[in-house]
Amino acid sequence: MSLQGNGSNHNRRPNLNDESDAFFNFKGNVDFERITGVKPETVAEHESAEDAERAQKLKEAIEQENSSAYEDLDDFVYRQNKKRHRSSGGRHHRHSRTSPSVLSPSHKRRRSPTSKHRHKHHFHKHHHHRRRMRRWQKIAIGILAAILSIIVIAIATLVIMVNLGKGQLTDKTGFNIDVPKSATSADGGNTITYKGVNYQYNDNITSILCMGIDKDSLSTIDGQVGTGGDADSIFVLTLDLSNGRMKLINISRDTMTDIGIYSPSGGYIGEKNAQICLAYAYGDGKHTSCHNELVSVRRLLYNVPINNYLALDIQGIAPINDSVGGVSVVSPETIAEFKKGVKYNLKGGLATSFVRSRSHSTPEANSMRMQRQKLYLERFGANVMNLTTSDLSTPMNVYNTASPFICTNVELSEVSYLAVNAIQGRMGAMEIVNVPGKAKMGKKYAEFTVDEKKLFELFLDVYYIPVGEAEPASTTIQ
């Protein structure tokens, strides 16, 4: 082990600071041959420079091996003392005095002859032999720490965004429900009384306006041309964040309501009663068009808070449809290339044709198309849910496919909140309902007139909670 601990010569220690020490006299020195494996007679005495270099290397070798020997001896003493302590069964034990180190005088125990040995329990921490971590271990620990930090930051960010997202989705800024004459309201519409029943607005509900955009045609009202395209499909997705209840309110594109008219330069001209789909045309085909359509839909639904919108260009239907492997449907009518009662596996352009085609010969044509769109959405949603159970990346794949065709103001925090609710199973099956009314042929185009009574009752069912019967009005006796 030690360079010096060798038989009777174990106390022979070379003086490393004295190069005249006999140890460095190469000729006739047995220790030199034992350590270096080189016979002293082969060393030329006249090569003093080479001798000095050898002497220096010997010093370094001795110091390094002595250091290792000290640690090995310390570890041996520590293990022996620990073994004695265990064998005593935890009883009081006596420290044995170890003999002075055979390697270094500095290891000799210094003790006054008159002093008494004071016994103390200790853990011999100073005897513990620690191994240095290898480089790859340090790198691995560093990488692991970095990954854990990223995960913690990501989770914290998601929690913040989820909480922020709920607040944005349920924002009621400017809340003021415009109820019809058949009802009364209080506190801006938070409470509504209708047919003897009190209703309370559901603060957990959120709405997103969804539109399918066809940009192939221009719209003209009183000589003003709209270039943004038409909102051919209009839906209001409502979600109760407290129980996951979802409803999709399907609004006919031909619904007659007041819409905002703008000049090609973007200047506001005024309002005009026209088909609700045309509101999108008077804008830039992106966010200003979406906002103009949003204002018209709010007006139709009694000024309910709808803050978010999502518009999908009809050109995106085919790739989105194919991203879930296509959709199988049974056609409810004969139109275009489809026959009533026949099952079709919609792929590519066939899916676009199924949701887009309509006849212009009857005012009920759009209502029939809405039935096909409702059927398609139900089957598409079922496909997405089934695929998600086996592959959680399905919703993200659909979103990535749809992104080039989407215009929306839905923020990442809101998407995070909705995604977490969906993953945790807090969203139920989606129910699709149509705005009630009747279609007829106008002077030029089909017109859909809303049934106000049924629409208001649908509105209360979606956005309000019944809280009891209203108190009867008091009467004054003369």
CATH number at residue 174: 3.40.630.190
Instruction: Single out the residue in 45, 61, 81 at which a domain terminates.
Output: 81
pLDDT computed for residue 53 by the predictor: 65
How many domains is the chain built from? 2
Neighbours of 189 (CB within 10 A): 21
Q: Does residue 171 share a domain with residue 73?
A: no
Average pLDDT for consecutive 10-residue bins of the chain (478 residues)?
Answer: 42 54 54 60 52 65 58 57 54 46 42 47 49 65 70 58 60 87 94 96 89 80 80 89 84 93 83 92 90 95 91 91 93 91 94 85 76 86 81 78 87 58 57 90 87 96 92 54
Distant-in-sequence, close-in-space partners of 281: CB < 8 Å, separation ≥ 6 = 218, 219, 226, 227, 228, 229, 230, 289
Q: Does residue 269 share a domain with residue 363?
A: yes
Q: Does residue 169 share a domain with residue 76?
A: no
Instruction: Single out the residue in 41, 60, 81 at which a domain terminates.
Output: 81
Residue 137 is assigned to a structural domain of this protein: no
Residue 118 is assigned to a structural domain of this protein: no
pLDDT computed for residue 236 by the predictor: 93
CA distance 239 to 170: 10
Inter-residue contact 315 to 267 (CB < 8 Å): no
Domain that holds residue 295: 162-469
Q: Does residue 389 share a domain with residue 285?
A: yes
Q: Does residue 72 share a domain with residue 193?
A: no
Q: Does residue 431 share a domain with residue 337?
A: yes
Instruction: Single out the residue in 33, 50, 81 at which a domain terminates.
Output: 81
Residue 148 is assigned to a structural domain of this protein: no
Residue 225 is assigned to a structural domain of this protein: yes
Largest CA-CA distance found in the chain, in angstroms, rounded: 143
pLDDT computed for residue 428 by the predictor: 58
Q: Does residue 187 share a domain with residue 67?
A: no
Residue 126 is assigned to a structural domain of this protein: no
pLDDT computed for residue 460 by the predictor: 97
Residue 356 is assigned to a structural domain of this protein: yes
Residue 20 is assigned to a structural domain of this protein: yes
Residue 465 is assigned to a structural domain of this protein: yes
Predicted TM-score of the model (pTM): 0.60
Q: Does residue 312 share a domain with residue 406?
A: yes
Report residue 4 CA to chain centroid gap: 66
